[in-house]
Structure 1
Amino acid sequence: MRTAFLIFLYALIIILIIPFFLVCFLFGIRRPLLHLGKWAMGLGKKLLGLEIESAGLENFDPAGSYVFMANHLSFLDGPLLFYIIPQPVRVFIKKEVFRLPVVGLGMKHVHFIPVDRKRLRGGRRSLERAARLMKLKGYSFLIFPEGTRSRDGRLQDFRRGGFFLALETGAPIVPISIIGTYELMPRGQFYVRPGRIRVIFHPPISVSNYSKDSLDELIARVREQIASALPSNYLPQA
């Protein structure tokens, strides 16, 4: 019942914000749409009965440009971090989502990046576009280096794409540990249980001493930081 109500409410919100969205689109305004997105995520948090505890936000500059990297447990992870991270972070989203009426156009307008998961070349183009935006506009990006949600809540192997983005732009990597979203909405579940979520932001990792030749060392360091705050049932089995 709670999920059905939330879907109805969000549909109503989309209808009501269409005039606001059109003004932003016509005049090339992006930041108000991002703030509106944060407000919507905050509303969803309250309606779903989610209690969020965050730590480590003081570890990075809210005005800086970073590549945020987190473990991926649930559909909740992206909206959750978009809401918590102080700066208006951009994200990579599978291209099919951009086909949604109004929402898809809004994401494109604020420079969210569509990703074609089935094509390697499409993924490279998405990373190149993100790198250009970071250099030109000082954006921060949120990436889930596992590439997909964990099926059992345990930390998976990391893909390299996001690390290439950090090396290309020189942006520090902020490792993030998420705890609790798997229990509230695991992969394959279409409703959200109320409950507590914990998010830990670790100190930024400079990429200045790394190169493509030492990429595996950088990946291992970020993965180790994320794993350091996770409970044992979130860690890979030996």
Structure 2
Amino acid sequence: MRTVILLIFYLIAIILVSPVLLVLWAVKKKDPVLNIGKWVMGVSRLILGLKIEVEGRENVDPAKSYVYMANHVSFLDGPLLFYVIPQRVRVILKKSIFRIPVVGAGMRFAGFIPVDRKRISSGKRSIDEAVQAMKEKGYSFLIFPEGTRSRDGKLHDLKRGGFFLAVAAQVPIIPITIKGTFELMPRGRIFPRRGKIKVIFHPPVDTAGKTLADIPALASQVSLGMGT
């Protein structure tokens, strides 16, 4: 019964979110993406019986921009982080998602950035666009540096794109550890089980004065944080 209720809820949310987003933006609400994300995940949490614990929120200064980097083990991870991160957050997403009717247009309008992972020039343009959004709009960006969801729940090698972004913008990186979502909704499962999720915000990793040559060391430091 919970699954049916949640499915109906998501279908209604998908239909309503795009026009609501446009209306909220037109009247200049604080951040419709943040508000809608928190509302959708908040209702989902109640329907699913999820308990969410957050640790280390004091490591986040809402007045600063960050590149958040989290482990990725479940479809729940993205909505979860939009729910718990206390800032205006955007994401760089693969270009194919933006081809989905209505959804793609809504994402582009909301400030999400497309990237063609097969083209280096596209990656550079996406990073430049994200840096500009941080400086002009105060956005932070969420990155899953493994590049895809882990099949075994373990942390795998981190790709470098998010580190290029953090160094280019000269903003701190906040490593995030997500615990529990793999057990509740591993890759391949359509709906999650009931249970507890824990999100840990680790201390920021400074990138001030860092260059591309420092990225391997930054990646090691972030990987160490995410793995704890």
| TM norm. shorter chain > 0.5 | yes
| 8 A contact 2:72–2:149 mirrored in 1 | yes
| Paired residue secondary structure (2:86) | coil
The 2-side partners of 1:217 and 1:19 are apart by 44
Structure 1 102/44 Cα, relative in aligned 2: closer, same or farther at 3 Å? farther
Q: Which runs of 4+ in 1 moved over 4 A?
A: 16-19, 25-30
Equivalent position amino acid for 1:175 in 2: P
Residue 195 of structure 1: aligned partner: 195
Structure 1 64/178 Cα, relative in aligned 2: closer, same or farther at 3 Å? same
Unaligned stretches of 5+ in structure 1?
230-238
TM-score of the superposed pair, with normalisation by structure 2: 0.91
| Paired residue secondary structure (2:174) | strand
Q: What's the CA shift for 1:192? A: 1.0
Q: Encode CA deviations 1:160-217: one digit per residue, 9 max, x unaligned.
A: 1100111111110001111111111111222211111111100111112522112111
Residue 226 of structure 1: aligned partner: 226
> Percent of aligned pairs with the same residue?
55
1:86 equivalent in alignment to 2:81? no
Q: What's the CA shift for 1:129? A: 1.3
Structure 1 132/196 Cα, relative in aligned 2: closer, same or farther at 3 Å? same
| Paired residue secondary structure (1:130) | helix
Structure 1 16/224 Cα, relative in aligned 2: closer, same or farther at 3 Å? closer
The 2-side partners of 1:134 and 1:13 are apart by 28
Q: What's the CA shift for 1:33? A: 3.8
Matches within 5 A, 1:97-108: 97-108=97-108
Unaligned stretches of 5+ in structure 2?
none
Structure 1 160/17 Cα, relative in aligned 2: closer, same or farther at 3 Å? closer
Worse-matched range after superposition: 207-216 or 166-175: 207-216
Worse-matched range after superposition: 122-131 or 98-107: 98-107
TM-score of the superposed pair, with normalisation by structure 1: 0.87
Matches within 5 A, 1:1-238: 1-17=1-17, 19-24=19-24, 31-227=31-227, 229=228
Aligned residues: 228
Worse-matched range after superposition: 118-127 or 10-19: 10-19
